Amino acid sequence: MKASKIFKIFNSIFKPVANDLNLIQNDLSFLEKEMEEISKMKNRVEAIVRLFKVISPFHDKSGFSKIILKLEKKNYGQLNQTIHALKVLQKHFEESGRNPFGFNRTQTGEKVTPKKVFLGDIYGIHTKSASYWLKNQQKFEAENSGLSRKAKFGEGYISTWHCINDYQAGNFVLTHTKGILKQLSILKECSKKF
C-alpha cells in the first residue's frame, strides 16, 4: 500500500475526530478554569452556587451529548477513553444540573442565584436557601448543631454552619469539581493522539 493511501486513510479516521473535539475546546477550557477556581473556594456555600452557575448552561444544552453521538459513530475502539470521559462529564452535568426538588431549583435558562439554591435537610437542619445560610453565617458558625465528633484532642462539637458548608455543600462541590477536572485531564491526554 502506498504511503499516500495510508495517509489518506489515517486522515479520514483521525482528522474528523480532532475537528469534533476542537468544537468543544473552548467549553473544556472554560470548565477547567472554573472548576479549579471553585475547588479552591473556602466558603463552600458560595462555591456551590458558583458551580451551579457554571454547570446549568451545560445542563440546559444537554452537555456534550451531540459530540458523543458523533464520536460513537466514528468509534471502532480508538475513541473509547474519549467517549467515556465525555459521558462521565455528562453524568456530572445531570447530577449537578437543575432540579425542582434538588439543590439547584432553577428552571431551564433561568439565572442561578443564592435565593434559588437550597441546602439543609441533613442532621435535622431545615432546608433554607443559600442566601439565608450566607446571611446568617456568623450565627450558624456559633450554633451547636447537636452533633459531636471525636477531635484529635478530645470531644468537639460541630456547628450548624459546618454541617451545611463543609459536609453538605463542601462534599458536593469537591465531588463534582474533582470529578470534572479528572475527566478534563483524560480528555487532554486523549486529544494528543489526534
Cβ atoms of 148 and 156 closer than 8 Å: yes
Q: What is the pLDDT of residues 70-109, one digit of tens each?
A: 999 988 888 999 999 999 999 999 998 899 999 999 999 9
Q: Does 60 score more than 90 pLDDT?
A: yes
Dihedral-angle region of residue 109 (phi above 0 means left; psi in -120 to 50 means alpha; beta otherwise): left
The neighbouring-strand residues paired with 154 are 151
Give the global pTM.
0.85
**How far lies 81's CA from each of 2, 108, 186, in Å?**
30, 30, 8
Helix axes 25-39, 3-23, angle to 10 degrees: 50
The least confident of 8-12, 78-82, 166-170 is 8-12
Q: What is the mean pLDDT of residues 23-45?
A: 96
pLDDT attached to residue 191:
81
pLDDT at 84: 97
Considering only residues 117 and 11, tell me which one the structure prediction assigns the higher pLDDT. 117
DSSP per residue over 87-115, as a string?
HHHHHHHHHTS--TTSSB-PPTTPPP-GG
Lowest mean pLDDT among 30-34, 48-52, 169-173, 190-194: 190-194
Integer-rounded Cα Rg, in Å, for the chain is 21
State the pLDDT confidence band at 149, using cuts at 50, 70 and 90: low
Please provide the average confidence, as pLDDT, over all residues in the chain.
87
Asked whether 122 and 170 are in contact (CB, 8 A), the reply is no
Which letter does DSSP use for residue 136 in this model? T
Mean pLDDT of 34-59: 97
What pLDDT score was predicted for residue 159?
85
- How many CB atoms lie under 10 A from the CB of residue 150? 8
Rounded Cα distance between 48 and 51, Å, is 5
Grid cell at residue 127:
432546608
- Predicted confidence at residue 152, as pLDDT, reads 45
Beta bridge partners of residue 148, listed in sequence order: 157
- A 10 A CB-CB count for 45 gives 25
Distance from C-alpha of 16 to C-alpha of 126, rounded to nearest angstrom: 52
